[in-house]
Amino acid sequence: MYTGFQHLHSTLAYLFLAVMAVAMVYFFIALMKNKPFTNLSRRLALAGLIIVHLQLLVGVVLYFISPMGFSNFGDEAMGDALQRLYLLEHPLINIIGIIFITIGYSLSKRVAEPAAKHRKLLLFYTVGFGLIVLRIPWHVWP
């Protein structure tokens, strides 16, 4: 079960990186060219939101079943950089990134002007994406 969740978490991460990269480029181009907020804009924003929340759900399950997660909590873990990454840094920073993405999606729904919608999505999705990318354990990621 643990290995399956690890693979699912990694697969969703690849999907998240691809969808968010496409969405951010699209929002940037739409903002620069002053394009209307289309159904594609809405779908890209929603796809990023859904994938990041699925990733969170799988990550929370993995946190509690992984030997590097919650069961590893203790004083010794804070002294080791890799253990601290899995135990504290990766989950905490990624949750903050997910909060930024969620806030951006919610705020963009409340704005009427298309440029403001694209601006909010681009800003919040970029900050959230950046935080998440900073805390991906690249050295052990399959």
Split into its structural domains, the chain has a count of 1
Look-up: residue for tokens 């929340």?
A: 53
% of the chain with per-residue pLDDT over 70: 95
pTM: 0.91
Q: Around Cβ 21, how many Cβ atoms within 10 Å?
A: 12
Question: pLDDT tens digits, residue range 18-72?
Answer: 999 999 999 999 999 999 999 999 999 999 999 999 999 999 999 999 877 776 7
Q: Which amino acid is at 91?
A: P
Contact 66, 2 (CB under 8 A): yes
Q: Give residue 71's domain range.
A: 2-140
Q: How far, in Å, CA of 41 to CA of 18, rounded?
A: 15
% of the chain with per-residue pLDDT over 90: 73
DSSP 54-111: HHHHHHHHHHHHSTTTGGG-SHHHHHSHHHHIIIIIHHHHHHHHHHHHHHHHHHHHH-
Looking up residue 77, the CATH number of its domain turns out to be 1.20.120
Structure tokens at 120: 């909010």
Query: Does residue 126 have a pLDDT over 70?
Result: yes
**Confidence class for position 86, pLDDT limits 50, 70, 90:** confident
Mean pLDDT computed over every residue of the chain: 91
